[in-house]
Amino acid sequence: MNSIARTETGNLLERNHCVVRLPLGLLGFERCKSFTLFARPEEEPFLWLQAVGNPKLAFLVMSPFIAVPDYLPAIPEEDAQFLGLEGPEDALIINIVTVRAGRQATINLKGPIVLNRRTLKAKQVIPLNASELSVAHPLPIRSR
Amino acid sequence: MLILTRKLNESIVIDGRITVKVVRIDGEVIKLGITAPADVPVHRQEVYEEIRQSNEAAATTRLGPVPKLSTPTAQPSGCAGTPSAGRNAAGQTLTWRSEPKTNANQTKPRIV
């Protein structure tokens, strides 16, 4: 049985930044287990995820639902348990954006970062329906 | 590389805490059941590699500049302390299989 719920892209960053714990790191970056998540108003809807202790390692991220409103990653039960999620309303999802040459950008829908918004524990999750999700979904970029 | 021969329903144990069991053999397809602690990530290699490469391409040493989105549905993320009504039109949705709660320390087989 699937349980589906909606939660707001809430006020996670009330002071514009917070420290997110990724006990398993990001795939390929397993040693970086702590990141600062912060927003700069002029860059909305993007956020930055910057490694604590290594400012030279950062990822541009955003809520996937802005670009793909019907995005529906199926989070494995063991990941929900790992993150201590008692229901979908506890979770916040952000996805990594790749800025490419020629002012193009893509969002990785296959490897969402799921956060427990109460504890700020997070994990880059591979959804059960990953085979249906693009690792490089194009973002609509405004030409100047 | 260590190479071991296993039959259906036989297992191997890694580091005393990870068990890999052959749960089905169907022609060229072999199903493995993996029991491991929650802090041991288990992934299909090709999916892991795809996401690892994407992460490496996305990793940046400097903060910006960022592109401007042209999507008409783009809304403030709400992360800058500017709450506004109606933001949840682009609200967050996810789903997972609901199963009975189990002991957090208990490990369950994952069929991959």
- The length of chain B in residues reads 112
Q: pLDDT digit string (tens) for A9-40? A: 445 555 568 999 999 999 999 999 999 999 99
User: Mean pLDDT for chain B?
Assistant: 76
Q: pLDDT digit string (tens) for A56-110? A: 999 999 999 999 999 999 999 989 999 999 988 899 999 999 999 877 999 999 9
At A17 the pLDDT is 83
Say whether B71 and A140 touch across the interface (CB within 8 A).
yes
- Placement of tokens 């690892």 in the chain: B52
Mutation pick from B50, B75, B79, B105 vs chain A, by most beta carbons of A within 10 Å, is B79
Domain ranges of chain B: 1-58+108-112
CA distance B77 to chain A (A): 5
Residue A139 clears pLDDT 90, i.e. is over it: yes
At A13 the pLDDT is 59
Beta-carbon contacts of residue A16 (< 8 Å; ≥ 6 apart) = A38, A39, B79, B80, B81
- More confident position, A120 or B91: A120
How does strand B29-35 pair with strand B18-26? antiparallel
At B70 the pLDDT is 85
At A103 the pLDDT is 79
Q: pLDDT digit string (tens) for B79-102? A: 333 223 333 333 455 565 444 444
Residue ranges of E strands in chain A: 2-7, 17-21, 34-38, 46-51, 58-62, 91-100, 104-107, 113-116, 122-124, 137-138
Considering only CA atoms, which of A60, A120, A124, A130 is closest in space to residue A90? A120
Query: Which residues of chain A are within 8 Å of residue B62 when distances are taken between CB atoms?
Result: 58
Q: d(Cα B5, Cα B7) in Å, to the nearest integer?
A: 7
At B94 the pLDDT is 57
At A11 the pLDDT is 52
Residue B37 clears pLDDT 50, i.e. is over it: yes
Beta-carbon contacts of residue B4 (< 8 Å; ≥ 6 apart) = B12
**What are the structure tokens assigned to A79, written together?**
């990941």
Q: d(Cα B79, Cα A44) in Å, to the nearest integer?
A: 9
Domains and CATH numbers, chain A: 17-137 (2.30.290.10)
Pick from A5, A76, A126: CB nearest B51: A126
